[in-house]
Amino acid sequence: MQSQNIDSIRTLFQSRLTTLEHLLKSAQTHFNDDESFLQKRIAADMLPFGTQIAFTCNQPHNFALWCNSKPANNLDPEVTSLAQAYEHIANTKELLLGVNAEDSKLAEVTRIDLGQSLYVELPGNAYVNEFLIPNFYFHMVTAYDILRMAGVPIGKRDYMLHLVPLIRKNEA
């Protein structure tokens, strides 16, 4: 397993945001630019696809802010247009490019406010591995599942897009 550092985390988030953008483009094509798919959800009590885009982006967005010693600042969850969805992804990727932190940041304790006067304090490594990355994948998988449920013709290859350049064919 590759040693984790700030650059490897940034690379992970960048590549998966490219996957998220690919999933969004697949949905846009499938629905012929009809933006109503942004309101689709798996169950009535779950948040819609557009919000899943924002929540997926929040994790690398807040990672980049944290790396640059700025407070967390979640994106607007009311994503009602394709332009807004693409903007969240593009702005998050851009913010990641500006990360300027040493790997020692991963040892720094950070406080995460959970709402309702609740919080948790974690070392940076735990913040990334126990909070950001699990939340990132939770919302990305939920977005993927909403699109699958809505009939968008995507599959595991679309979700694992980051591995496509590494695929080789046996020369038997």
pLDDT of residue 3: 61
Per DSSP, 38 falls in state: G
pLDDT of residue 22: 98
CB 64 within 8 A of CB 7: no
Q: Quick one: residue 32, left, alpha or beta (phi over 0 = left, psi -120 to 50 = alpha)? A: left
Nearest to 100 by CA among 67, 62, 124, 66: 67
Q: What is the dihedral of CA 8, 55, 89, 13, to 10 degrees?
A: 10
> Hey, which residues does 121 pair with through a beta bridge?
111
Nearest to 81 by CA among 26, 39, 32, 25: 39
Domains, in order of start, for the chain: 6-166 (1.20.120.450)
pLDDT of residue 4: 84
Q: Are strands 118-123 and 109-115 parallel, antiparallel or unpaired?
A: antiparallel
What is the phi/psi pair of residue 106, to 5°? -70, -10
Note the pLDDT tens digit of each residue in 123-156: 999 999 999 999 999 999 999 999 999 999 999 9
pLDDT of residue 82: 97
pLDDT of residue 1: 43
pLDDT of residue 38: 98
Nearest to 125 by CA among 98, 102, 105: 105
Tokens of 129: 């591995």
Model pTM above 0.75: yes
Contact partners, residue 112, CB within 8 Å, separation at least 6: 72, 119, 120, 121, 122, 127, 131
Return d(Cα 160, Cα 15) in angstroms, integer. 10
pLDDT (tens, 9 = 90+) of the chain, 172 residues, equals 446 899 999 999 999 999 999 999 999 999 999 999 999 999 999 999 999 999 999 999 999 999 999 999 999 999 999 999 999 999 999 999 999 899 999 999 999 988 899 999 999 999 999 999 999 999 999 999 999 999 999 999 999 999 988 889 998 7
